[in-house]
Structure 1
Amino acid sequence: MQPATDSAQPATDSPRPVAGGGRAPAVTAGTRGFDRGRRRLEAAGATCVGSRYPTNFDVLHVDGDLPFLAVADGMGGGPGSTLAGMTAMATLVDEIHTAGPEVGGDGLRAALAEVQDQVVRAGADLGELTGCTLSALLAGAAARDAWVVQLGDSRVYRLRAGLLELLTTDHTTAWLGVVHGWYPADSAEAAAARYQLTRYVGHPEQPEPDLLNVSLLPGDVYCLCTDGVSDQLDYQRLRQQLGRPAQLHEIAEQLAADTLAAGGADNATVALLRVTAAPPAHRA
């Protein structure tokens, strides 16, 4: 990934983010459950290196204390990529843990501003691009809604009643070109602009994150993923896997494995949240 010209190791019980490692799928967080009144939330994630890069520049976080998950994708293949992803995720985790699940939209904007500042500071003396994408989801205390925040082209999907929806837009020149009719989605122009990011963490100007407040209904599955997943797995494959009645960590690991089967052309990371009705014994 590059800026627009015109503008894992296995997880531990710690909530700290970790970069993925190894060429086989690495589940960095097994299924974690959170009972919230009449609803139960499950979260899991997986990441893999693929065959393009010798290391993983993606960062995955599936929290052990809060229904909070996030993915980041470093830009480029150098030290700035790693530094940006790890700094962004560590800062966001600290901000969310300080604010708590009722942080709200204004609090999330403030958190992302701090993430931006920390990444810019970290890369000030590096002498190369220091930037990353960042997408996160934080469920409210009652698990009736959640906040989604995004910068870059790491996507957030929702499977509801069999319909898979893309909730976010890619902050790329290609997305703008297709939406505004500059060129077709399958054109050479769109392909050339695919990795030109218009907004990202570490942008030289203060980037404006997209924030969404979404409902949480029993049966929903939310999927956060880097472009190594969305570029390699088509709509039907994502829909099929997210709708399986399997353990959530198994679905995450299978999605990572599917990207390898599709060619492993990039680091690939996925974080999942599933909403179900809480067992009667756990209802408040």
Structure 2
Amino acid sequence: MNNEPTPVPFNLAAAGMTDVGRRRSENQDRILLHDIVYAVADGMGGHEAGEVASQLAVETMQEICTFANKTSVRKLPTVAEVQRQVQLADDRIREALEARGGTTLCALLQIKAPDQGRDNVTAPISAVPPWTSSFSMNVNTDVIAKITPEMLKDHRDPATPGTAPLPVVAEEIPNLLLVNVGDSRGYRLRDGALQQLTRDHSAVQEMVDAGQITEFEARNHPHRNLITRALGAGAESQPDVTVLQPRIGDRYLLCSDGLSGELTEDILQTILVNFKDRSEAVRVLTGAALEAGGRDNIAVIVIDVVAAGNPEPDAEEN
């Protein structure tokens, strides 16, 4: 017997903001708020390079909205079309910056797919990374360039399930698509419980997966800023993609590591549960991250799945 929820018409309503934090001189985080595409991009690199990379990423993703609204009947993108747009963002950043900077990307999109998306999600776990045993504990790890193509050669298969390009298929059922490259994160609050849906593409996450360090140790590890995938730089930029089944009442959180690196999952859950107003939730989350140290730029988007036709305000950027 099939107990899967029946697809229902839905809309997305969101609020978001960025903050420079307490220790950075410039804000290299960017967000995109649209009823089709919501995205967080955390730029990395030298002066202006990270800002350019994150801006190019959100501008390229925003083109999906333009394509969707070209006709009188809005045409939602397919998984393959979103993947091509992410690849285009990667290409544009590489051409503009010549590997001097890159960006993470975590995005939630409305799409059409031939089948219902996944209702339950388990983040993928990679094999033990071959390079972690050689890390020097006193190395500055702000940039991803320390991971070389040679290191990655035999570690990852580009055709790993969930990351390989999917064929173009007939569009039928409205779904959500979660895309991530790097360590900006996507969470879902459902029935009061928060779940991280993405897996960080980072050195410390792979050490956690391998049992070399704990989640607690990872929060303050000297290599916490070492990213193993990014758009525009490094050896790998392939996004993880997950088609999700929308449920009315679900709440999604997209954020850069300036938020997730400062606040535990319990704190995130408490704020998202207690502050029903999206704009207020965003402000409280950002304020809590600043109070906890504000060591990095902070980007936050809170997205609610609401019934189609429900009078909800447009997306708000604070």
Matches within 5 A, 1:24-63: 38-63=9-34
Change (3 A) 1:46 1:182: same
1:235 equivalent among 258, 262, 265: 265
Cα drift, residue 94 of structure 1: 1.5
- TM-score of the pair, normalised by structure 1: 0.77
Q: Write the distance in 2 (CA, Å) between the matches of 1:180 and 1:263.
A: 29
Say whether the 8 Å CA contact 2:262–2:292 is kept in structure 1: yes
Return the structure number with greater relative CO, CA threshold 8 A, min gap 6: 2
Of stretches 136-145 and 71-80 in structure 1, the one that deviates more from structure 2 is 136-145
Q: Does 1:131 align with 2:102?
A: yes
Say whether the 8 Å CA contact 2:100–2:233 is kept in structure 1: no
3-state secondary structure, aligned to 1:81 = helix
Matches within 5 A, 1:1-150: 38-63=9-34, 66-99=35-68, 102-124=76-98, 129-140=100-111, 145-150=175-180
- Is the strand fraction higher in 1 or 2? 1
Q: Write the distance in 1 (CA, Å) between the matches of 2:218 and 2:297.
A: 23
Say whether the 8 Å CA contact 1:53–1:77 is kept in structure 2: no
Cα drift, residue 204 of structure 1: 4.0
Of stretches 265-274 and 141-150 in structure 1, the one that deviates more from structure 2 is 141-150
Query: Any stretches of 5+ residues in structure 2 without a counterpart?
Result: 1-7, 70-74, 113-171, 313-318
Corresponding pairs, count: 242
Change (3 A) 1:62 1:194: same
Of stretches 88-97 and 129-138 in structure 1, the one that deviates more from structure 2 is 88-97
Q: Percent identity?
A: 32
Change (3 A) 1:220 1:281: closer
2:230 equivalent among 189, 200, 203: 200
Cα drift, residue 39 of structure 1: 3.2
- TM-score of the pair, normalised by structure 2: 0.69
Cα drift, residue 278 of structure 1: 4.7
Q: Write the distance in 1 (CA, Å) between the matches of 2:219 and 2:273.
A: 34
Aligned position for 2:293? 263
Q: CA RMSD in A?
A: 2.6
Q: Which amino acid aligns with 1:60?
A: I
Query: Any stretches of 5+ residues in structure 1 without a counterpart?
Result: 1-36
Q: Deviations over 1:256-278 (max 9, x none)?
A: 11111112211111011102335
Q: Which amino acid aligns with 1:217?
A: R
